[in-house]
C-alpha cells in the first residue's frame, strides 16, 4: 500500500484504538489503581480493542506486522539479559505471595490482551505505517513518544496524573525496547509475550502487597520505575543501532546493484 495512504490509516487506527481503550473515561466514575482495573474483571475495552486490531490487520492485509515465528530462532538470544528481570519479578511474587486463583486468571487474560493490543497497535500498525514513508530513526522515536504519551491518559481512570506521567516516561523507554525486540527477531510475538509477562508479574506483586492507603508519591516511588527501565532503554539503543546500520548497508547494496 502506498505510503500516502498507509500513514494516515495508521493514525486513524490509533485514534479509534484510543477511543475504544478509554471509552467512558470522560464520564463520572470512581477512580481505581491500574492493578485494581486489571484484576477485578476481564476488561471489555481491552477485548474490544484487540478485536478491532485483528479485523483491521486481516482486512488491510498488513502481514508485515510480524505474526510469525522468530527468524531465525536463535535471534531470541537477545532476550537472555532482559529475562533476568522476569526471573527477579517472579521471585518477588513468591516473596509477597500470590492472589486468589481467579484473580490470577483474570490478570493473566488481561495482561496477555494488553500485550497483544499495545504491541500490535504501536510496534505493528503504527511503526510499519510510519516506516512506509519516513526514515528509520524518526519512525522509531515517533512511535515510542506516541506510545509513552498515550499512557498519560491512564490518569482518567486512576486520578493520579503524576504517576501517569511517570508511567508515560517508562513506557517510552520500554516501548523502544519492545520495538528493538520486534525488529531483531523479525516477529512481534516475542514482544507480545515479554510485554504480557512483564505486566503480569509486576501487577501480581502490586496486587498482593498490603494496601498502604492514600499516600503522597515519594521521590523513590517515582524514580524506581525509571531505574528499572533505563537498562532496557540503553540495551534497545544498542540493538537499534545495529539494525539501522544493517538497513543502511542493505540499502546501499541495493542501490549499487540497481545502478
How confident is residue 257, by pLDDT bands cut at 50, 70 and 90?
Answer: very low
Dihedral of CA atoms 125, 20, 45, 55 in degrees, nearest 10, equals -50
Q: Which residue has the higher pLDDT, 216 or 141?
A: 141
Residues 174/98, Cβ–Cβ less than 8 Å: no
Q: Residue 70 belongs to what H/E stretch?
A: none
146-167 per-position pLDDT tens digit: 999 999 988 777 677 888 899 9
Cell output for 163: 504517576
62 pLDDT exceeds 80?
yes
Residue 258 has pLDDT above 90, yes or no: no
Give the phi and the psi of residue 187 in degrees, each rounded to 5: -155, 145
Whether 236 has a pLDDT exceeding 80, the answer reads yes
Cell triple for 60: 488491510
pLDDT averaged over the chain?
Answer: 88
Rounded to the nearest 10 degrees, what angle do helices 136-150 and 161-185 cross at? 140
Burial of 125 (0-12, 13-18, 19+ CB in 10 A): buried
Model's pTM, two decimal places? 0.90
Provide mean pLDDT across the span 159-176: 90
Q: Judge whether residue 126 has pLDDT over 80.
A: yes
Amino acid at each position: 500500500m502506498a505510503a500516502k495512504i498507509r500513514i494516515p490509516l495508521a493514525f486513524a487506527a490509533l485514534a479509534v484504538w484510543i477511543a475504544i481503550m478509554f471509552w467512558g473515561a470522560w464520564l463520572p466514575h470512581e477512580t481505581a489503581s491500574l492493578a485494581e482495573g486489571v484484576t477485578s474483571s476481564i476488561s471489555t475495552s481491552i477485548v474490544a480493542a484487540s478485536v478491532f486490531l485483528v479485523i483491521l490487520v486481516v482486512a488491510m492485509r498488513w502481514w508485515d506486522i510480524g505474526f510469525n515465528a522468530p527468524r531465525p530462532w536463535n535471534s531470541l538470544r537477545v532476550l537472555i539479559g532482559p529475562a533476568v528481570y522476569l526471573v527477579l519479578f517472579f521471585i518477588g511474587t513468591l516473596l509477597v505471595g500470590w492472589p486468589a486463583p481467579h484473580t490470577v486468571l483474570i490478570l493473566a487474560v488481561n495482561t496477555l490482551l494488553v500485550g497483544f493490543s499495545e504491541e500490535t497497535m504501536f510496534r505493528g500498525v503504527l511503526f510499519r505505517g510510519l516506516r512506509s514513508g519516513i526514515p528509520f530513526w524518526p519512525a522509531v522515536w515517533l512511535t515510542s513518544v506516541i506510545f509513552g504519551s498515550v499512557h498519560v491518559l491512564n490518569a482518567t481512570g486512576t486520578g493520579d496524573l503524576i504517576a501517569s506521567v511517570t508511567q508515560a516516561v517508562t513506557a517510552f523507554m520500554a516501548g523502544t525496547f519492545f520495538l528493538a525486540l520486534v525488529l531483531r527477531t523479525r516477529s512481534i510475538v516475542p514482544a507480545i509475550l515479554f510485554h504480557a509477562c512483564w505486566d503480569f508479574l509486576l501487577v501480581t506483586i502490586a496486587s498482593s502487597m498490603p494496601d498502604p492507603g492514600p499516600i503522597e508519591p515519594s521521590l523513590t516511588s517515582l524514580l524506581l520505575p525509571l531505574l528499572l527501565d533505563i537498562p532496557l532503554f540503553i540495551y534497545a539503543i544498542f540493538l537499534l543501532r545495529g539494525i539501522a546500520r544493517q538497513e543502511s548497508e542493505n540499502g546501499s547494496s541495493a542501490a549499487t546493484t540497481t545502478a
